[in-house]
A and B are shown apart, each in its own frame.
Chain A
Amino acid sequence: MTRANAVAMPKILARNVSKIYPTIDGETVAVKDFSLEVADGEFVCIVGPSGCGKSTFLRMVAGLDDISAGSIRVSPGDEPGKPSNSVVFQEYAIFPWKTVIDNVAFGLEMRGVSRTKRLEVARYWLDRVGLAKFAGYYPHQISGGMKQRVSIIRALANDPEVLLMDEPLGALDAQTRVVLQEELLRIWEETRKTVVYITHSLDEAVLLGDRVILMSAQPGQHLATFNIDLPRPRSIETINGPRFAEYRAMIWEKLSHEVRRAMEQQQ
């Protein structure tokens, strides 16, 4: 089960990463000694109880948060000028003041790609998720599920080395969520991007990930790694298989203990 290529040439290499917030009552350790290697083209899910610092870790990988100790490296690809990472935020974070298509083309615009070129790319992605009709709409005119689609293809249109997703489907209702999981699987099979995916949902983690990393309650530490050996391409039917249930039960056994500990901590 060792991933030879992951050891040889990891796309993301995080070594002993810690995050410490200074507060009035002293220091709060959000992430402690967390190490992670992600191979090129791998889909890694990070699961953990609320407030375990998984989002903080993702923001550190994205360069949006300072690292207190340790190091994170995202290897550049062969193409120069390609952005190293793009984040899909839980709260969509698509700009209300830009039309859908301008939102999708945002990353390209910031990199100085010409208008015709970037709109062409944006239109291609809008087509792929069935939003071509809504190109000229403003975000307040479309539904939550559509907004999150826009947010996801904004990241894909940017064509980053790695895709960082921070509970992207967390704010959606159960049905929309399933539809988007399926769409995500389909797109990922075609693009094979390197993905780090934060989620609360075990089902989602097992369904999407090649590997599921379990983080402990605060301070967030590496607890366990599960290799998900389910065949690709997967679809929503994968959930009904017996192996899926096995994986889920195995992870839940460890996770439930942590969730309880996290709840006790909060009290």
Chain B
Amino acid sequence: MSELPHSAAQDAGLTVNSAAVRDADRRAILLLFGGIVVFNLALFAVGLWRPLAWLAIVASFVTLVLVCERIGRMVSPRARSAYERSLAFGFPLAVLALWQIAGDTGMINTTWFPQPSKIAAGLWDMIVRYDRLSGTSLLGRPWLIPEAFSQNGLAGVWALLSESHVLATVSRVLIGFILGAVPGILLGVVMGVNQTVRLMLDTTISAVYVLPKIAIFPIVMLIFADPFGEGPKILVVALAVFILMTINTMAGVRGIDKVYLMAGRNYGANGWQMMRHVIVPGAMPVIFAGLRIALGTAMIVIISVEFLRAKQGVGFITFYYWEVLNPEKMYAGLVVVMLLGIMLTYLLQWLQRRMMPWHR
């Protein structure tokens, strides 16, 4: 009972304290915000903003971080997630807005650095345009699918889809990814389990790993009857993924705590059961980390290959618009690549949640 007044007093002291901190924070936010606006305007007024742009940008960024941290301290726990989300999405949006303004006011050269609105317009134009000469479009004009289906059935739909740059790239990546990942994981498991195979192949794998896959593309082309067809493109992707997955899976298998292997053996698991119940699930976290990296590599390889030698694909269209001096659409192509990256990563994360339900 005697503790009650004491703790109440403590609480009161704490409240007074935090209120004081709040006030100080509020003042600091106003001061910092006002200060940086004045700083930028002053630089502008004396005509020094452009030569000192880097300084101004860094100073503004640092000030913005300080302001946001103070705002973050005042946010109630309930509003916390909203605050974090607005920080995560708000900042990139703010950068885009500044880019837009800088372009509109002529501070940057919009011929080579077109502002977001122009890139968006370019992207829209690419989506709706059908290139009669090459017989391609960005997405394959999905709005025509019902019509094509009623006229020519599935063949008509197929004809539409096969004109798509995005689908061409996605199918190359996915087929190459699967053709590389499955044998890569298998060989990785074997190399992880068997020391002899590991010693025999490890050096070669490490050597091929550092080789830029684009550099062996010319040789890969020679393997196929049609060097300009889909075969070589898919194979380089598969090769890059294969090497990465072999290395990662091997590391994953070797990293399994030995006590799990002992437990598996002691409880009577035979070779196949050991694989299914102990080794593969034990290596799964590292395998998925590898798949994530391999996906990025696969995108890099396919875009490079399409830059180099392709008549279709997102990489091709991006490079094509650079060659015909249409930067808006070149940027739009890069945006498509990034969107594809995000989508494929989500797909992989979904797969990971399905296959590793034990992972927190």
A residues near B (Cβ < 8 Å) are 59, 62-64, 83, 85-87, 89, 91, 93-99, 106-107, 109-111, 138-140, 154, 158
Q: How many A-B residue pairs have CB under 8 A?
A: 60
Q: State whether A93 and B358 are in contact (beta carbons under 8 Å apart), knowing that A107-B268, A110-B273 are contacts in the complex.
A: no
B266 engages A86 (CB within 8 Å): yes
Instruction: Say yes or no: A106 contacts B358, CB within 8 Å.
Output: no
Q: Which A residues are CB-close (under 8 A) to B265? A: 64
B266 proximity list for chain A (CB < 8 A): 62-64, 85-87
A110 touches B269 (CB 8 A): yes
What would 19 A/B residue contacts be, using CB atoms closer than 8 Å?
A83-B267, A89-B262, A89-B263, A91-B257, A91-B259, A93-B259, A93-B260, A93-B262, A94-B263, A95-B281, A97-B281, A97-B282, A106-B267, A106-B277, A107-B267, A107-B268, A109-B277, A138-B358, A140-B360
Which residue of B has the minimal Cβ distance to A151? B263
Please indicate the chain B residues that have their CB under 8 angstroms from the CB of A158 in the complex: 267
Residues of A within 8 A of B259 (CB): 89, 91, 93
Q: In the complex the two chains form, what is the Cα distance from A59 to B360 in whole Å?
A: 33
Of residues B262, B267, B269, B278, which shows the largest number of chain A Cβ atoms within 10 Å of its Cβ?
Answer: B267
B145 within 8 A of A: no
Chain B minimum-CB-distance residue to A106: B267
Interface string of B323-360 (1 = CB under 8 A from A): 00000000000000000000000000000000011101
Q: Do residues A93 and B263 form an inter-chain contact, with CB atoms below 8 A?
A: yes
Q: Which B residues are CB-close (under 8 A) to A111?
A: 268
**Are B268 and A95 in touch, CB under 8 angstroms?**
no
The 6 residue pairs across chains A and B that have the minimum distance between CB atoms: A97-B281, A107-B267, A110-B268, A93-B263, A93-B259, A138-B358
How far is the CB of A96 from the nearest CB of chain B, in Å?
6
B170 within 8 A of A: no
Q: Does B284 count as interface, using CB distance less than 8 angstroms?
A: yes
**Least Cβ–Cβ distance between A122 and chain B, in angstroms:** 13
Is A97's CB under 8 angstroms from B263's CB?
Answer: no
From 240 to 298 in chain B, residues with beta carbon under 8 angstroms from any chain A beta carbon are: 257, 259-260, 262-263, 265-270, 273, 277-278, 281-282, 284
**Which interface residue of A95, A97, A111 has the most chain B CB atoms within 10 A?**
A97
Q: How far is the CB of A256 from chain B (nearest CB, A)?
A: 30
Output the nearest chain B residue to A97 by Cβ-Cβ distance.
B281
Q: A94-B263, A111-B268, A138-B357 are in contact. List 5 more A-B contacts (CB 8 A).
A: A83-B268, A91-B259, A95-B282, A99-B358, A110-B277
Known interface pairs A83-B268, A110-B267. Does A140 touch B262 (Cβ–Cβ under 8 Å)? Answer: no
Contacts of A59 in B (CB 8 A): 262
The residues of B that contact A97 with a CB separation of less than 8 Å are 281-282, 284, 356, 358
Which residues of chain A are near B269, meaning CB under 8 Å? Answer: 110
Nearest B-chain residue to A107, judged by Cβ:
B267
Q: A138-B358, A140-B358 are in contact. Are A64 and B262 (CB under 8 A)?
A: yes
Tell me which residues across on chain A come within 8 A of B263, comparing CB atoms. Answer: 87, 89, 93-95
Whether A87 contacts B262 by the Cβ 8 Å rule is yes
Q: Inside 8 A of A91's CB, which chain B residues have their CB?
A: 257, 259
Q: In whole angstroms, how far apart are the Cα atoms of A88 and B101 in the complex?
A: 68
Name the residue of chain B whose CB is nearest to the CB of A96. B358
The CA-CA distance from A253 to B226 in the complex, in Å, is 84
Nearest Cβ on chain A to B325's Cβ, whole angstroms = 55
Chain A nearest Cβ from B146, distance in angstroms: 46
Chain B: CB-nearest residue to A90: B259
A147 CB → nearest B CB, Å: 13
Instruction: Name the A residues within 8 Å of B268 (CB-CB).
Output: 83, 107, 110-111
By CB atoms of chain A within 10 A, which of B268, B277, B360 has the most? B268
State how many angstroms separate the Cβ of B158 from the closest Cβ of chain A: 41
Most buried by A among B263, B265, B269: B263
Q: Which residues of B contact A64 (CB under 8 A)?
A: 262, 265-266
Look across to chain B and name the residue whose beta carbon is closest to the beta carbon of A141.
B360
Closest-by-CB residue of B relative to A99 is B358
| Chain B residues positioned under 8 Å from A93 (CB to CB) | 257, 259-260, 262-263
When distances are taken between beta carbons in the complex, the residues of chain A under 8 Å from B273 are: 110
Give the nearest-CB partner of A95 in chain B: B260
Please report the C-alpha to C-alpha distance between residue A140 and residue B284 in the assembled complex, in whole angstroms.
16
